[in-house]
Amino acid sequence: MSDETEKVRYGRAQKFRLSPKGTEAVAAYSVMIEAAKSGTGRAQFDAARATWGASLGLAAEDGLYLVEFEAGGRTVSEATQSLEGCDISAKSVKEAVDRLLKCGMLEPLPAPPPRVAPPRRYW
């Protein structure tokens, strides 16, 4: 199987955070949002998002997903719940996470160490 079609597998409890590259992308996205606020409407905002995405090799909507993971340590499920008001499906969030992992904008957090069971006491 080639690298392009191979899917990244991760568990439901896997948390993700921005990589340094992703942090830079979010900073650029925030600047773009502020600049677009002074514009005249949605068309200018959409054009600014498209320009931002193209400059980084991302889709225009990827800024929204990156901002969700900016807080760090979020699962796909948590991000999906946060984006429910935007009519974004869980499938779209998973696809975005896969895309952002491949381009190095997100990174998985290491799994916490397994819990150690307390020693059994036989009385």
| 101's tokens | 């992992």
Judge whether 117 lies within some domain: no
Q: Is a pLDDT exceeding 90 seen at residue 66?
A: yes
pLDDT band at 1 (very low <50, low <70, confident <90, very high): very low
Judge whether 45 lies within some domain: yes
Give the pLDDT confidence score for residue 121 in this predicted structure.
84
Judge whether 69 lies within some domain: yes
Judge whether 29 lies within some domain: yes
Going by the DSSP 8-state scheme, the letter that residue 18 receives in this structure is E
Q: Is a pLDDT exceeding 80 seen at residue 4?
A: no
Q: Could you report the per-residue pLDDT of 30-62, keeping only the tens digit for each?
A: 998 888 888 777 888 888 889 999 989 999 899
How far apart CA 101 and CA 8 sit, in angstroms, is 9
Q: Which of 1-5, 12-16, 35-39, 59-63 has the lowest mean pLDDT?
A: 1-5
Judge whether 57 lies within some domain: yes
Is residue 91 classed exposed, middle or buried when 0-12, 13-18 and 19+ CB atoms within 10 A define those classes?
A: exposed
Judge whether 59 lies within some domain: yes
Judge whether 120 lies within some domain: no
Q: Could you report the per-residue pLDDT of 82-110, keeping only the tens digit for each?
A: 998 888 899 999 999 999 999 999 999 88
How far apart CA 4 and CA 84 sit, in angstroms, is 29
With a CB cutoff of 8 Å and minimum separation 6, the contacts of 87 are: none
Give the pLDDT confidence score for residue 40 in this predicted structure.
75
With a CB cutoff of 8 Å and minimum separation 6, the contacts of 16 are: 69, 73, 74, 75, 76, 97, 101, 106, 107, 108, 109
Give the pLDDT confidence score for residue 2 in this predicted structure.
46
Give the pLDDT confidence score for residue 7 in this predicted structure.
62
pTM of the model: 0.78
* Total domains, the chain: 1
Give the pLDDT confidence score for residue 5 in this predicted structure.
52
Give the pLDDT confidence score for residue 46 in this predicted structure.
87
